[in-house]
Structure 1
Amino acid sequence: MTFNPRFEPAVSAARLGTYRAIAADDDHAWALYRWNIDLAAALTPLACDVEVTLRNTIHGHLAAHFGRGDWWASTDLVLDDITSETLTDVVRRHKKQLVKGTIGPGKVIADLMLGTWVMLLSRGGTSALGRAIDYEANLWRPALRFGFATGNLHSERPSPAADTRRRTPPSIEPPAAPQPFGASRADLQRRSGVWHSDHGRFTDRVGPDGRAPAMDGP
């Protein structure tokens, strides 16, 4: 794949520099850059399936536990300050429609970012007054654990390095040590199976051979 120097101002020299650091030449760096974009696109359907299933699982079990679809409004729910602020911002945005009944809790759920659900599966932080909030005791044990078919909160908690990689959008992650696509895809499917034993088959979207898009050599 031939590199066109006119692309550099649009992409930025700093961004391309990451790829140039491990490439044989500019053509190879450009090929790596394009391959990384293709890889991110190939993983997107699976990542979307995982996010939707995760949020619906958590929402369903919290709604059942607190006895209401808008579980975030329950007086029995105690959240740390970060989670509370995140939920409050979204609920406030739709307050008028919620009061009128033109939308339901599902709209709030759909507008919450993935990070909200990750926070609800964490150990919990502190309240605005500095009191420790224990999500494992308050949310996981009485409610959320029943939505996960296999595994547990601790066995599926990734290492700090792996967690950092997952928080980095694939399209901007430095490919200094490219990981096999099949392994990354299998890891996502394995983790999705924690809350639904058939989810791995449900998320089998990226081609029958499970391979990444082909990447040109240097």
Structure 2
Amino acid sequence: MQTQPTAAQLKLLEPLISLPRLAPYVAATGTPTAGMELYLWNVRLSAAFGEVIALAEIILRNAMAEQLATAYGDTWYARADLFDDRTMAGFKTTWRNITLPADPATGRPAQKTLRAVPAGKIVAESTFGCWVNLLDKGGTRGDGPYKKNVDYDSTLWRKALHKAFPNSGGRRTTVFTTASHVRSLRNRVAHHEPLIDGVPLPGQADRRGRTRRLTLSDAHAEILRLVEYVDKDVAAWLDRNSRVPDLLRTRP
């Protein structure tokens, strides 16, 4: 059971958290004490969202990697002909950040080759954003007279990725939109940002020109929807076990 800090303990936390960080919560509640209570609720909610997102992310990338390997081989991520520059930059960053254990014979790091680096390591260490980008329509590769358009619909989606999401209706844009919403929530949770006003969606605006936001209930539903595209039973289980709904009902 969650124990609520006393008023004295809340007061001690204030300078440690910092007034600028607490400002949105104080503005929403009207008093420093109530603001701190709301801040701590936001921390617990972020942790609960993180649990669900963590499972959704692993399910997403494993389902996608399986189909890409089936269509393009185990080292599909090294197929420069498949990807736009944005995706290649993401995989290159993953590759640079991978470290291998030292060679027992020399004491030096083992040579980093496609054979030496397990495919699972690339899958696990590539960012969530990199996986979401694979669901986009594709950008360009090269520059100047060598610049070419890369169409992910006709390559990645139709030849491989649609099979990873059997319950999506078969439309790449459907999966991409949902995955993008989950990425926006994930980034906000990962950086300990306020969730009290919903989840802002970068680059999207309402009729008044304000940044469009997902409600927290809708954001939770988007995570479950992304998992449902892969497996309905797993999504239903995740829904039953998520702590998010209870926390939303108990907002201070």
For the aligned pair, the TM-score class normalised by the smaller chain equals 0.7 to 0.9
Aligned to 2:205: none
Structure 2: runs of 5 or more not aligned = 101-109, 200-213
Count of paired positions:
213
Structure 1: runs of 5 or more not aligned = none
**Aligned match for 1:198, one of 227, 233, 241:** 233
- Asked which structure has the greater RCO (Cα within 8 Å, sep 6+), the reply is 1
Aligned to 1:88: 92
Determine if contact 2:25/2:39 at 8 Å carries over to the other structure: yes
TM (norm. structure 2) is 0.72
Aligned to 2:207: none
Shift of 1:195: 1.9
Aligned to 2:164: 147
Aligned to 2:104: none
Query: Structure 2 vs 1, CA of residues 100 and 49 (structure 1 numbering), >3 Å: closer, same or farther?
Result: closer
How many Å separate the matches in 2 of 1:158 and 1:173? 22
Determine if contact 2:74/2:119 at 8 Å carries over to the other structure: yes
**Aligned match for 2:40, one of 22, 34, 37:** 34
Determine if contact 1:189/1:199 at 8 Å carries over to the other structure: no
- Kindly indicate whether residue 64 of structure 2 is the aligned counterpart of residue 63 of structure 1: no
Aligned to 2:125: 111
Shift of 1:177: 5.5
Find the residue that maps to 1:109 and give its secondary structure. helix
Instruction: Please tell me the root mean square deviation across aligned C-alpha atoms, in Å.
Output: 3.0
Determine if contact 1:19/1:32 at 8 Å carries over to the other structure: yes
Determine if contact 2:68/2:160 at 8 Å carries over to the other structure: yes
Determine if contact 1:72/1:87 at 8 Å carries over to the other structure: yes
Determine if contact 1:81/1:125 at 8 Å carries over to the other structure: yes
Aligned to 2:136: 122
Structure with greater strand share of residues: 2
How many Å separate the matches in 2 of 1:72 and 1:164? 21
